[in-house]
């Protein structure tokens, strides 16, 4: 990489790492700037490491950066699973059963729903909540709450 110094000069630097950050410049680069350091025994080459943005850097042709350690921001959290599945009852037209998505009766098809949709589905004629899983225990009280008892 070539680093542009504040005065406009450019120097070849070593890219040590890159890190994704929030803000207008999504990447920070840890570069090693060559310099000198005076020691009791004399002067020797040294490297100063600093974080810069892509504004200060120019890629150098032929330099492979794929091995540079790269730290990305964590992605958006995965969407929670819908949680509920409504399945038609075989042989009973219009009858449905709502299951917890993890219920063994929910395997093999059906429509995945969020909790509010599952409560709505239970309010339809011919719908009931499965009693083998959490559907009855969780959704029926929610349904009763939604109907505003009292």
Write the burial class of residue 133 (CB in 10 Å: 0-12 exposed, 13-18 middle, 19+ buried). buried
Lateral strand order in the sheet of 2-4: 10-12, 2-4, 57-58
Chain position whose Cβ is nearest to Zn ion? 130
Judge whether 64 and 1 are in contact, CB under 8 Å: no
Among 20, 47, 132, 144, binds Zn ion (CB under 5 A): 132
Which CB, 119 or 130, lies closer to Zn ion? 130
User: CB 141 → Zn ion: shortest distance, Å?
Assistant: 16
Residue 28: how many CA atoms within 13 Å on its side-chain side? 12
The answer to whether 87 contacts Zn ion (rule: CB under 5 A) is no
Determine the size of the site formed for Zn ion (CB under 5 A). 6
User: CB 115 → Zn ion: shortest distance, Å?
Assistant: 15
User: CB 81 → Zn ion: shortest distance, Å?
Assistant: 15
Q: How far is CA 19 from CA 40, 73, 74, 105, 111, in A?
A: 36, 8, 11, 46, 41
Residues across the chain: 150
Which CB, 102 or 123, lies closer to Zn ion? 102
Residues 90-129, one symbol each (x = binds Zn ion by CB under 5 A, - = not), give ---------x---x-x------------------------
The answer to whether 143 contacts Zn ion (rule: CB under 5 A) is no
Residues in region 11-70 near Zn ion by CB under 5 A: none
Binding site for Zn ion (CB under 5 A): 99, 103, 105, 130, 132-133
């Amino acid at each position: 990489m070539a680093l542009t110094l504040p005065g406009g000069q450019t120097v070849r630097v070593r890219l040590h790492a890159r890190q994704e950050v929030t803000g207008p410049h999504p990447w920070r680069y840890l570069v090693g700037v060559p310099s000198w350091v005076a020691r009791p025994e004399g002067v020797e080459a040294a490297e100063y490491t600093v974080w810069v943005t892509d504004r200060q850097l120019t890629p150098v042709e032929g330099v492979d950066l794929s091995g540079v350690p790269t730290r990305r921001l964590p992605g958006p959290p995965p969407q929670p699973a819908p949680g509920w599945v409504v399945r038609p009852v075989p042989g009973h037209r219009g009858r449905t059963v709502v299951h917890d998505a993890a219920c063994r009766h929910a395997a093999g098809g059906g429509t995945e729903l969020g909790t509010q949709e599952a409560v709505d589905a239970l309010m339809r004629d011919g719908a009931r909540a499965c009693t083998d899983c959490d559907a009855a225990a969780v959704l029926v009280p929610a349904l009763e709450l939604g109907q505003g008892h009292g």
